[in-house]
Chain A
């Protein structure tokens, strides 16, 4: 399996990433566990706060960067991936981590999601998937089960649920994993693997919402989830095996690394302008002010 390389000299602890703000999530929210696991994974990998870059959109899950002592960009609803890919292009020395909910990722941001998959930017996308729009009071989300009854679907959702891990594998992601908010250690380890992966990494986190999703609770998930990481015979590098596993849902739900493709060049690897190093550290084009003025005058 994929091992996390833990630095021998352990200096940073999860506390190093602790924000100064009071967390405003509901008591019992799965986001608390995810937040802690994110800090754990950063500490495991010894990534200093200034070298991490969190990008999010709008939603409960998207407030995560506000509670971390690190860089962050809390942008517009569904637009975290364009921001994250842009940030990575501007400064590929940063570890770019997207933390969004299922609505932001697969609903509003669905168009960005499919193109990010095939682009293979070296970023990590952690989706806090509670199968419901929780911040706006419980409307059904793309991952809500068919028939889900909520304020906007009084007769039950007509659409079938979106399967993010199948989509990610099919769409060209080079790392696809699933974890569970009731298992902090598994979460931290999975996040660390995803952050270490060179290329686009999706981690879909099965998460409870204690207010608006009283079906897919921690108690519902716990007996169903099983860890692929414990199965030595499972080969996440085999596309067809992974695809079959990604479809598994119901009484048994696989968690862990579903699919990995190593060695495919990242988007940043293939951008010529980045060959000389991070864009942000390069001088501006070598044009003088006179040249810019001339250029501008010619446009007028």
Chain B
């Protein structure tokens, strides 16, 4: 009555790219189980078969390599080859864009690098993007600079400065722009790293100052 005999359809077939062809359950010609436990190619629970485990695990991990070329690189905003690049991800996107516009309007040439996809991280392509950044400032709404850590771990590129905010409130564009100006005023040309406590600057006192980047 069924086109395939029990155990014939391989839901988890070992493939070169790691992706196994998927049939929908409920089709008259395929009957199969899927399992949260380690499974055989046919989706049955593996009974202590280490060779199967290795084959299935390697198949799954090959998917990561298959995915990498499809991952979106961080997007650039603002003038090319700017001496300052603001790096961010997620909800800071619009505040960072506003800050870039404010800075450029004030004569501080800056651009932004906004991460959309993170994992699986395509190290080779990302390194090329990061190489375009000169003074790289990480803007994040957390204490530990999570994105900067990921970037460092996978590409070796350390950020030159970090502006971190963790008082539970969102960044504003003005706040970022002003903090960048203060930081750049004290920044030695390019290489030096600045030690700081990660809090924003005093907007009233510094908003009119020009920064010599």
CB distance from B41 to the nearest CB of A (A): 13
- Scoring A20, A22, A50 by chain B CB atoms within 10 A of each residue's CB, the highest score goes to A50
Contacts of B43 in A (CB 8 A): 72
Surface stretch bound by A, among B24-32, B80-88, B105-113: B24-32
Number of B residues, CB within 8 Å of A: 24
Report if A50-B7 is in contact (Cβ < 8 Å); known contacts: A65-B33, A74-B33, A74-B37: no
Report if A49-B33 is in contact (Cβ < 8 Å); known contacts: A24-B47, A63-B45, A280-B26: no
Task: Mark out the residues of chain B between 105 and 152 whose CB falls within 8 Å of any chain A CB in the assembled complex.
Answer: 116
Contacts of A232 in B (CB 8 A): none
Chain A contact patch, size range: 20 to 34
Contacts of B35 in A (CB 8 A): 66, 74
Across the two chains, which residue of chain B brings its CB closest to A87?
A: B25
Q: How many angstroms between the C-alpha atoms of A16 and B2 in the bound complex?
A: 10
A51 touches B26 (CB 8 A): yes
Across the two chains, which residue of chain A brings its CB closest to B47?
A: A24
A12 touches B26 (CB 8 A): no
CB contact between B26 and one of A16, A63, A94 (< 8 Å): that residue: A94
A 78-103 to B, binary, CB cutoff 8 A, 1 in contact else 0: 00000000010001011000000000
Does A70 sit within 8 A of B, measured CB to CB? Answer: yes
CB contact between A72 and one of B1, B30, B34 (< 8 Å): that residue: B34
A18 touches B6 (CB 8 A): yes
Does B44 sit within 8 A of A, measured CB to CB? Answer: yes
Report if A48-B1 is in contact (Cβ < 8 Å); known contacts: A18-B6, A53-B25: yes
Contacts of B197 in A (CB 8 A): none
A71 touches B1 (CB 8 A): no
